[in-house]
């Protein structure tokens, strides 16, 4: 029997999202995980073991050196899953290996956000283009089956008959991230606006754009009006809780990162009509767990989606003694009472669809629709939103924010002063 060709994937970064990606590869036919590289050999080995155990890889190599990962002849493409502050350093290490001829690669996929500033994101894009690689921007939400299916139907039935959609609402909320570097503005690049509005603005653009179209070809940005706030974690009690949980976190009573952000992005669509993405994100939502919610409104139709409205729910009585976990839902906050259960989070959040689509495109030598240019555009939206929130005004396009660094990232934002 002829051997099926698959894409050899090298995973760079074996943390929280590395585990999600490896889980998702159980639903990807055109790729095998062949290597994992991380800061320590131990963490790389542990994710490599998981890849072996779940059958998404075979003889998965573990490295703590990026050059070794790129030079591994089984690695065709690298998924960059390291923290935001490492983007330039790791992408340069990868592309240097390729441009110098020491290694060959087909493609690279990079997690959100593409950079902490527009300048960083642009540098990442240019490094990848300079190395001649196919590229994918890892924005999982635009591959989530709930959004993809409803957008297909809304556009085929509603938009075709009554006109294009005009308002997309996208919200992502949870009780706060899982590692110190997210909480510090300098290493993360800001707070929840940077961390999660990157998803919401892109999901909003996705819903408002016809299937098969590049968002930037359909939607011309006009303006953004945004607000950021420190609602929970800047309170003295919670700032202390943060420092006790994550040693090394800055003092949130003085220079917090925003734990709430809201933005209204105005566009003109391909029909010349005004349309809006309304995005809300927070690290101050204490509910059952992570909540992603979406709405799309058009002339004679609407859609809605909420990841906490799950098809299965569990009830756990108060008499059960249980340990804490995230086995029912990401960022789970309770183990008692009526709890939502997502049966396949990698699938629901879009990682499986994302990795299937990218693996197939890379294997065929085709450039994916959601490439790194989309990642750069998203960073531009986020920086404009920060500027709007800082200056309390509506920011209009064209932008001049190449070197803009949010006050939160500079440690200069103190809303309680």
Ligand X SMILES: NC(=O)c1ccc[n+]([C@@H]2O[C@H](COP(=O)([O-])OP(=O)(O)OC[C@H]3O[C@@H](n4cnc5c(N)ncnc54)[C@H](O)[C@@H]3O)[C@@H](O)[C@H]2O)c1
Residues in the chain: 417
How many angstroms separate the most distant Cα atoms in the chain? 71
Q: For the chain, how far is it from start to end, CA to CA, in angstroms?
A: 71
Q: Which of 27, 39, 92, 163 binds ligand X (CB under 6 A)?
A: 39
Segment lying near ligand X (by CB under 6 A), choices 79-87, 128-136, 278-286, 392-400? 79-87
Min. distance of Cβ 273 from ligand X in angstroms? Answer: 31
Segment lying near ligand X (by CB under 6 A), choices 15-23, 201-209, 223-231, 291-299? 15-23
Q: Which of 30, 33, 51, 82 binds ligand X (CB under 6 A)?
A: 82
What is the C-alpha R_g of the chain? 21
CA angle, 5 then 9 then 14, to 5°: 155
Residues within window 172-211 making contact with ligand X, judged by CB under 6 A: 179
Q: What secondary structure, in 3-state letters, does 248-270 show? A: CCCCCCCCCCCCEEEEEEEEECC
Q: Which of 10, 57, 83, 406 binds ligand X (CB under 6 A)?
A: 83
Min. distance of Cβ 61 from ligand X in angstroms? Answer: 14
Give the nearer residue to ligand X in terms of CB position, either 65 or 271: 65
Is the dihedral angle over the CA atoms 145, 133, 208, 266 positive or is it negative? positive
Total residues contacting ligand X by CB under 6 A comes to 20
**What is the edge-to-edge ordering of all strands in the sheet holding 274-282?**
301-306, 291-298, 167-173, 274-282, 260-268, 220-229, 395-396
Q: Which of 12, 51, 114, 219 binds ligand X (CB under 6 A)?
A: 12
C-alpha 114/C-alpha 124 separation (Å) is: 7
Min. distance of Cβ 87 from ligand X in angstroms? Answer: 8
Give the nearer residue to ligand X in terms of CB position, either 26 or 68: 68
Min. distance of Cβ 66 from ligand X in angstroms? Answer: 6
Give the nearer residue to ligand X in terms of CB position, either 12 or 296: 12
Site string for ligand X, 105-144 (x = CB under 6 A): ------xx---------------------------x----
Give the nearer residue to ligand X in terms of CB position, either 15 or 210: 15
Helix H or strand E segment including 282: strand 274-282
The helix/strand count (H/E) of the chain reads as 15, 15
Give the nearer residue to ligand X in terms of CB position, either 112 or 291: 112
Min. distance of Cβ 385 from ligand X in angstroms? Answer: 17
Enumerate residues 6+ apart whose C-beta is below 8 A from 86. Answer: none
Residues that bind ligand X (CB under 6 A): 12-18, 38-39, 43, 81-84, 86, 90, 111-112, 140, 179
């Amino acid at each position: 029997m002829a051997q099926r060709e698959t894409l050899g994937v090298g995973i760079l970064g074996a943390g929280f999202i590395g585990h999600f990606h490896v889980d998702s590869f159980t639903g990807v036919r055109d790729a095998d995980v062949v290597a994992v590289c991380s800061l320590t050999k131990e963490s790389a080995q542990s994710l490599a073991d998981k890849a072996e155990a779940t059958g998404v890889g075979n003889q998965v190599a573990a490295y703590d050196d990026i050059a070794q990962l790129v030079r591994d002849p089984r690695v065709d493409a690298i998924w960059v899953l390291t923290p935001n502050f490492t983007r330039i350093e790791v992408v340069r290490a990868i592309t240097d290996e390729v441009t110098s001829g020491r290694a060959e690669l087909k493609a690279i996929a990079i997690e959100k956000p593409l950079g902490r500033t527009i300048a960083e994101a642009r540098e990442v894009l240019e490094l990848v283009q300079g190395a001649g690689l196919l590229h994918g921007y890892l924005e999982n939400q635009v591959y989530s089956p709930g959004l993809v299916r409803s957008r297909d139907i809304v556009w085929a039935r509603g938009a075709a008959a009554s006109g294009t959609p005009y308002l997309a609402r996208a919200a992502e909320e949870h009780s706060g991230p899982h590692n110190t570097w997210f909480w510090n503005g300098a290493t993360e690049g800001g707070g929840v606006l940077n961390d999660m509005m990157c998803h919401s603005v892109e999901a909003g653009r996705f819903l408002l754009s016809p299937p098969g179209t590049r968002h930037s070809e359909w939607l011309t940005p006009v303006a953004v009006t945004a607000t950021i706030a420190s609602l929970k974690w800047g309170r003295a009690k919670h700032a202390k809780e943060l420092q006790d949980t994550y040693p090394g976190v800055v003092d949130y009573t003085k220079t917090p990162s925003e734990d709430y952000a809201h933005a209204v992005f105005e566009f003109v669509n391909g029909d010349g009509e005004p349309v809006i993405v309304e995005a809300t994100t927070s690290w101050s939502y204490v509910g059952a767990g992570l909540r992603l919610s979406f709405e799309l409104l058009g002339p004679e139709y609407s859609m809605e989606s909420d990841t906490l409205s799950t098809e299965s729910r569990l009830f756990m009585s108060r008499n059960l003694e249980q340990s804490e976990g995230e086995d029912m839902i990401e960022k789970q906050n309770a183990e008692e009472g009526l709890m939502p259960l997502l049966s396949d989070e990698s699938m629901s959040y879009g990682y499986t669809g994302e990795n299937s689509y990218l693996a197939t495109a890379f294997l065929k030598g085709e450039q994916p629709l959601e490439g790194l240019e989309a990642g750069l555009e998203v960073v531009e939206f986020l920086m404009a939103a920060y500027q709007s929130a800082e200056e309390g005004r509506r920011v209009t396009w064209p932008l001049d924010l190449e070197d803009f660094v949010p006050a939160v990232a500079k440690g200069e934002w103190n809303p309680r002063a």
